Structure 1
């Protein structure tokens, strides 16, 4: 079954090349040449199904890609949870960090190899659709509940807004509660993404997860930092 992607990119030649390449791998790519057109395709009143993934360029003529990502995450229902792969200028580390903070699932610096784009798309979609790694029972830690089947997280019955990638990171930690994990071990547990040297994306995602599940993200009780090593998910909470 072909999966549908939406590419929001002002470079029509690049979009055409990407669409042709991905078409050979079983994807159908719709193209929007600016931010407003892309958001119009995602509007709830269009009657269209949510795409399986959005490829979003950071630099667009009419609207900043970060603002588009914010608006996508504010959309109701499935549209607001569609995975976003952001295309950024090489070397713009701060833009990548901000993109991850506001809800992008991954980023890819330009210029990029089409094979890497395809690999990252497949990794995001695999994380989105893969079955739970162990049993199907929900993980519960005090008022925090992680349902691996439904892929939802609640605190005190209230839903937490996490991207697909952040959900997988949280599950990887929670399933190993009490065990200190290095960043490399966390990445190995989640799979599907290679980090650049000194990449801060894990720390950015952890900050987002803490903001969603902690009472006070600046004084976390659930996900603790072990300085110089990595992170540990606390067994005793609340």
Structure 2
């Protein structure tokens, strides 16, 4: 049985809601039920380990409410894993949901065993990211505080959007390593296939520009045809001695 992770289940269909609540509870999860978006927003203060939701036309609004850094930040960590259930999720809608910040999309009707496996995978990925970046990651003048979700260069605050900071934090856990695009899209965005999205490239470009605005170090390199790496240039001790 899994350890007692808490799941906020926001599901408007009463049959599906009861089915999932009963089965997830039987599998060892602490399930909090919400009947619609408004109810879910109220119950975010319980700080669930994962949000599982289908609130029909308001699902993207709920995703945005969880991911935004202001307003609901005191109720829920904006990096909280979030899985969307949807009967209408074609390929375009899946991409849209993922770009808004959800970690996975499961189409209805679904196999409960597959849903359970995906819940476990998303929670493992989330916990793994917390373990590799427990509090502060520091590389030269760059300091990332994963608890307050802030980044500083030589003590000066750098403003990052949620996914920009998640990308930087993930790569900072193993500087100089080349991360493939498939790896980053899977581990940071939860994509199962790259498709034709430019989400990663757009976020990497913004991160690079924001860092270089405060420090001339070549922070992030686009390794052509492969992916990205952080700090491909000289180590800081060599650079500072030059």
Normalised by the size of structure 1, how large is the TM-score? 0.70
User: Structure 1: which 5+ runs fail to align?
Assistant: 43-47
**62, 66, 79: which one aligns with 1:72:** 66
Q: Is 2:18 the counterpart of 1:21? A: no
Distance 1:208 1:101, change over 3 A: farther
| The structure with more helix, counted as a fraction of residues | 2
Matched, 1:30 2:44: no
TM-score, length of structure 2 as denominator length: 0.69
Distance 1:229 1:140, change over 3 A: same
1:67 Cα offset (Å): 1.5
Q: Does the alignment pair 1:215 with 2:214?
A: no
Q: Kindly indicate whether residue 12 of structure 2 is the aligned counterpart of residue 10 of structure 1.
A: yes
1:110 counterpart residue number? 108
**Residues 187/94 of structure 1: CA separation in 2 closer, same or farther (3 Å cut):** closer
Aligned with 2:168 (options 155, 167, 170): 170
Mapped partners of 1:231, 1:212: distance in 2: 12
Per the TM alignment, residue 211 of structure 1 is displaced from its structure 2 partner at its CA by 4.2
Q: Structure 1 residues 235 and 129 mapped into 2: Cα distance closer, same or farther (>3 Å)?
A: same
Counterpart of 1:122 in 2: which secondary structure?
helix
Alignment of 1:114-153 (within 5 A): 114-130=112-128, 132-133=131-132, 138-140=137-139, 142=141, 144-147=142-145, 150=147, 152-153=149-150
Alignment check: 8 A CA contact 2:81 2:103 kept: yes
Q: Kindly report the root-mean-square deviation, in angstroms, between the aligned alpha carbons of the 2 structures.
A: 3.8
For these two proteins, the number of residue pairs brought into alignment is 218
What's the secondary structure of 1:145's corresponding residue? strand
Contact map agreement 2:132 2:173 (CA 8 A) in 1: no
User: Cα offset for 1:26?
Assistant: 0.9
Q: Could you say which residue in structure 1 is the equivalent of 2:238?
A: none
- Does the alignment pair 1:232 with 2:234? no
- Decide whether aligned partners of structure 1 residues 127 and 102 sit closer, same or farther in structure 2, where only a CA change above 3 A counts: same
Relative to structure 1, the CA distance from residue 111 to residue 216 in structure 2 (aligned partners, 3 Å threshold; closer, same or farther) is farther
Is residue 51 of structure 1 aligned with residue 48 of structure 2?
A: yes
The CA distance in 1 between the partners of 2:53 and 2:20, in whole Å, is 13
Change beyond 3 A, Cα 1:108–1:178: same
User: Structure 1 residues 172, 22: CA separation in 2 closer, same or farther (over 3 Å shift)?
Assistant: same
Q: Flag structure 2 segments of 5+ consecutive residues without an equivalent.
A: 213-217, 235-242
Which is higher, the Rg of structure 1 or of structure 2? 2
